[in-house]
Amino acid sequence: MGVKGVNRIMIAVRNLEIAKRRYHDLLGATFVDAHWTGEPFGIGVSIAWDAGIELCAPLPGREESSAVSAFLATHGEGVMNVFFNVDDGDAAMERATRDGYRSVHALDYTQAEIDRHLGGMFIRYQEFNLDTAERCGFAISLARIEPRHSE
């Protein structure tokens, strides 16, 4: 498994719109809403691929019960997850398993899902979200994300 670097960081925030403006003003980041990824977990999601930032906030009415609520209550706003881009997601997950980590959520999008949800930006998108928070202080995701190169 080869690590290609950090793909993006996930920042837990209380208000998605305020945070998007903040990071746009500060960094010039361009956000694309990806709420469909977080709705099952009670969170709104917006990603700035150009800046390597993913923002997540509780959906209205889910402030106390979303997947990010406990983090916000304990830590406040801040970095919640780091997505490391790897060249082989399965091999990276096998290595993590050997080291005693487990995947708490995984996904592997088909090309049709990539085209529909991610605007065809990638030819491969696979993630393994690991249970690293206790040992590392934050969650780590192993992500095989291969961009579509324009001809």
Q: Which domain holds residue 71?
A: 3-147
**pTM to 2 decimals?**
0.91
pLDDT at res. 150: 59
Q: How many domains does the chain have?
A: 1
On the CB side of 25, CA atoms within 13 Å amount to 6
What is the maximum alpha-carbon separation in the chain? 47
User: Residue 120's domain is classified under what CATH number?
Assistant: 3.10.180.10
Q: What per-residue string of b and e applies to 12-24 under the rule 16 or more CB within 10 Å gives b?
A: bbeebeebbeebe
- Which pLDDT tens digit goes with each residue over 2-61? 889 999 999 999 999 999 999 999 999 999 999 888 899 999 999 999 999 999 999 999
104 closest CA partner among 63, 143, 140, 150: 140
Tokens (6 digits) for 90 = 């399965």
Confidence of residue 119 (pLDDT cuts 50, 70, 90): confident
